[in-house]
Structure 1
Amino acid sequence: MTRLVDRFFQLLETVMVVCIAGMFVMVLGNVILRAGFNTGIDISEELPRFLFIWLTFIGAVVAMRENRHLGVDTVVLALPVRWRRICWTISQILIFVCSVYIFVGTFMQHEINANTISTVMQLPMSWVYGVTLITGALMAALCIHNLVRLARGQVRDDELIQVEEEGMHEVDSSVQAARKS
């Protein structure tokens, strides 16, 4: 099962690379055509923007799986491990609730987005914003997975601190030492 999930996330990373490559090709091609030939590509205004939306939302899912989201753990670092677990649980529950709202909100907006057509590409906007269905579902699933791992005792103490910076381990060690003395 782990291999299947790893392959799925590799697929998501491949989609992100395709989005970046598509944005690059469209924007660069349009710049060259405008500067050198006084013409351009009509869809080069919309397509890179749509690809950026997909890149952002898919990247959020990949970043969540790898614990790469931005965070401020200054207060959490000063807490004992038990309270770190409580804070981590609360954050997972809050992320789950937000993910469900994203999913349900997109689902409720589907008919409107399906009937709204983009100006240049004539693409239903449900194709553009449909990525939030994927994002909401996957992030909610990741939260449930994390909470199940926590209930089973499979979450390591170092996973409770999600910010990785140079010197953070020294700060954590000094806080622990100060607490002991």
Structure 2
Amino acid sequence: MRALRLALSGLVKWLLVAMLIAMTVVLFAQIVFRYFFEMPLVWSEEMALVLMLWITFLGAALLLESKEHISIDFLVYMMPESPRQVIEIVGAVLMLILNIALTYGSYLVVEATVNSITPGMKISVGWHYGGAMVGGALLTLVSIEQLFASFSRPARAGV
């Protein structure tokens, strides 16, 4: 299971790198075409938006996996181990609920917008919201893993 998680994490990292490079190239091309050739690219803004949305939600899953999201936990670290573990479990449950709601809500939006077509790229608007759905699914998987981990290990020592 760990090997699968590491492989999926590595794949997401490479996808994020590729998307960031693609977004940079597209925006640079838009600047060049607009100001030097006076022929703006009609699809570039849409593509940059789609890439930014996907980067945001896929990156959120990677940050959750490595526990690099911003948190204010100094009071938790001042508590004894037993309450600290309870708070960690409650936090993991709440995070799981939030991520399930995100995934389900974004699925409903993708389903509602799948037949709408963007004017510039001529693709489904569902691609815009697909990043939230896929990222939400990855966030849910990471939340489940962290919830099980919080049950199976003793509370962390204070920092």
One fold, TM greater than 0.5?
yes
Cα RMSD between the aligned structures? 1.7
On the 8 A contact 2:34/2:40 being kept in 1, the answer is yes
Q: Structure 1 length normalisation: TM-score?
A: 0.80
When normalised by structure 2's length, the TM-score is 0.91
Mark the runs of 5 or more structure 2 residues left unpaired by the alignment: none
Rounded to whole Å, the distance in 2 between the matches of 1:75 and 1:116 is: 48
2:52 matched to 1:28? no
Which gives a bigger RCO, structure 1 or 2 (Cα 8 Å, sep 6+)?
2
Larger Rg: 1
Instruction: State the shift of 1:129 in Å.
Output: 0.8
The 1-side partners of 2:22 and 2:31 are apart by 14
TM-superposition CA deviations, 1:27-66 (whole Å, max 9, x none): 1111122222222221111101110000000000000000
Distance 2:152 2:71 in 1: 25
C-alpha deviation, 1:156, in angstroms: 5.7
Question: What is the deviation of 1:109?
Answer: 2.4
Identity of aligned residues (%): 23
Consecutive aligned runs of 4 or more in structure 1 exceeding 4 Å deviation? none
SS of residue paired to 2:57: helix
Residue 157 (structure 1) aligns with: 156
| 2:14 alignment counterpart | 14
CA–CA separation in structure 1 for the residues paired with 2:40 and 2:109: 33
Figure out how many residues of one structure are paired with residues of the other and give that number: 159
> Using the alignment, how far apart are the partners of 1:152 and 1:77 within structure 2?
19
Corresponding position of 1:78: 78
